[in-house]
Amino acid sequence: MPAYDLIVIGAGPGGYVAAIRAAQLGLRTAVVERRHLGGVCLNWGCIPTKSLLHSAEILQDLRTAGRFGIDVAEPAISLQKIIERSRNVAAQLNAGVQFLFRKNKIDTIWGDAEITDRGRVTVKASPGDLPKGVLPPGDYEAAHIVIATGARERVLPGLAPDGQHIWSYHHAMTATELPETLVIIGGGAIGVEFAAFYAELGTKVTLIERMPRILPLEDAEIADQMAKALKKKGIDILCSATICDAPTTDAGLTVRLKLADGEIRMLKTEKLLSAVGVVANIEGLGVERLGVELSNGTIRTMSRGRTTVPGIYAIGDVAGPPMLAHKAEHQGVMCAEGIAGRAGHTELGPVPSCVFAHPQLASIGLTEEGAVATGRAFEIGRFSLRGNGKAVTLNETDGMVKVLFDAQTRQVIGAHMLGPNVSEFISVFSLAMTVGATREQLAATVFPHPTLSEVVHEAVLASEGRAIHA
């Protein structure tokens, strides 16, 4: 029975990063995976969807090229090639994880894992052939076990994906034909991104959200601006709406919705995409039998991923929200360093989130509504992209940056932005919140010109009523 210092269950962003960091620190490490290295993020989530969205952005650029003095004929769309490129991107990065495992001498064990006792993992064969270079199912021992099994898409009763009429996000990423109409259930990040992609390609999209607005976890002001941007693309949005059922016919589906006022509305559509969040992958792991405490369907953790059972850890989606790949990666590093006895961060700092539609949305920390709920005094700075020179040159002036400061400490407590590529500079506020930077320190920071990031500086100045280009 092979013995390891650490066995990681799951090779998604949290799991493979934890394994690599542990191996760097000299721990003999193995990873159990049942489907694909890189997890949902790399193979069926973050990465391939960004490839799809980039294709949609290029299409938009071609259609608006005339504004920049470049006349282009109406571009021809090949959905097959768009999908093919996204799958190739995922495959390339999947191979990259394999290379990193070999480089760091990490063993890969292929199959479904169950923790049968403290320090013991039993791996059973999973469907499909055994990939080359991996260890077979069997019993394996380790001093420490990290659970990084991620999450799977939530399925609403009566709306199980069939690939023909009702899509999962897997189906939406591998479509062979462009649907004329698409109803998306769920106005969170996944629903919004798929709505933006398919609408740009010419599908008539309707986005359904049961809460009063789309992106309900985001700042209301910024979410409302995103809704306006989506409507400009021809996307219909119905909020405060719940789905009753969706009977199918040969021609498609009829989605029956109940609105907030009790009205029943019928929507005919060719395809329906269910994008209503995810559920942690806990089943079959054996954690409850061993006494690992759960909380709201996820594993309850303490500092550095420790669970209520010594020697067992949990990171990433399976350890609860926010269910984001970059959170999982950082938890993986903290957990591995804790196991190796290294000093370092024991708790996660502020975690940014992004929505990669066009325009993009990025946020971190408290929303304005959340800040009000705390009862603290705070100040807000806002700055529109209309006052940013780079945004004007790009013809991308829809959007803004909004930053919240604690009135007493003058530190950032939240930041929210909408606009082109804002995912690339939300990190300014990530750093500011991590190190406790004050408004004065941010105001004294020099931002390069002309760049979109200058809106950050202007929003900071605006919180004191001294924005230059407002």
pLDDT, one tens digit per residue, over 359-369 is 999 999 999 99
Residue among 409, 340, 422 nearest 379 (CA) = 409
Cβ atoms within 10 Å, residue 260: 12
H or E stretch covering 432: helix 427-435
pLDDT the model gives residue 1: 56
Residues with Cβ within 8 Å of residue 319, at least 6 apart in sequence: 147, 298, 299, 301, 305, 331
Asked if residue 188 belongs to a known ligand binding site, the reply is yes
The CA distance from 312 to 6, in Å, is 10
Is 196 labelled a binding residue? no
Q: Pick from 161, 268, 275, 278: which is nearest to 208 by CA?
A: 275
How far is it, in rounded angstroms, from Cα 200 to Cα 56?
6
As beta bridge partners, residue 64 has none
Give the phi and the psi of residue 352 in degrees, each rounded to 5: -75, 160
The answer to whether 236 is annotated as binding is: no
Task: Reply yes or no on whether 165 is catalytic.
Answer: no
Which residue, chain included where needed, has tokens 């995922």?
A: 90
For strands 378-384 and 400-406, give the pairing: antiparallel
Cis preceding linkage at 13, omega within 30: no
Backbone angles phi, psi at 155, to 5 degrees: -115, 125
Report, as ranges of residue numbers, the positions in the chain whose pLDDT lies below 70: 1-2
pLDDT at res. 251: 78
Cβ atoms within 10 Å, residue 84: 12
The domains of the chain are located at 4-48+80-152+279-340, 166-276, 359-463
Q: Amino acid letter at 342?
A: R
DSSP symbols for 72-115: -PPPPP-HHHHHHHHHHHHHHHHHHHHHHHHHTT-EEEESEEEE
325 is in an annotated binding site: yes
Which amino acid, 175? A
Q: What local confidence, expressed as pLDDT, does residue 468 receive?
A: 96
**In this predicted structure, what is the pLDDT of residue 2?**
62
For residue 440, say whether it is annotated as part of any ligand binding site.
no
From 165, 330, 449, 457, active-site residue = 449
pTM: 0.94
Instruction: Say if 4-48+80-152+279-340 and 359-463 have the same CATH topology.
Output: no
Helix (H) or strand (E) holding 402: strand 400-406
**Is domain 359-463 classified as CATH 3.30.390.30?**
yes
Beta carbons of 300 and 274 less than 8 angstroms apart: no
CATH T-level fold of 166-276: FAD/NAD(P)-binding domain (3.50.50)
Residue for token digits 């060719």? 270
Helix axis angle, 46-63 to 79-103, nearest 10°: 140
Confirm whether residue 357 is marked as ligand binding: no
Task: Report how far apart, in Å, the C-alpha atoms of 428 and of each of 6, 44, 200, 316, 335 are.
Answer: 35, 28, 30, 23, 25
State the pLDDT at residue 42: 94
Q: Is there a binding annotation on residue 338?
A: no
The full DSSP string for 326-345 is HHHHHHHHHHHHHHTT----
186 annotated as belonging to a binding site for a ligand:
yes
> Is 4-48+80-152+279-340 assigned to CATH 3.50.50.60?
yes
pLDDT of amino acid 90: 97
| 470 is known to lie in a ligand binding site | no
- What's the Cα-to-Cα distance from 467 to each of 204, 367, 382, 418, 463, rounded to whole Å? 40, 22, 9, 18, 8
Residue type, 32: V
Residue 132 has a pLDDT of: 87
Element containing residue 405 per DSSP (H, E)? strand 400-406
User: d(Cα 262, Cα 68) in Å, to the nearest integer?
Assistant: 48
Tokens of 356: 């990669």
468 annotated to a ligand binding site? no
Task: Sort strands 166-167 and 271-274 into parallel, antiparallel or unpaired.
Answer: parallel
Q: What are the beta bridge partners of residue 195?
A: none
How far, CA to CA in Å, does 451 sit from each of 225, 355, 417, 440, 454?
22, 21, 15, 21, 6
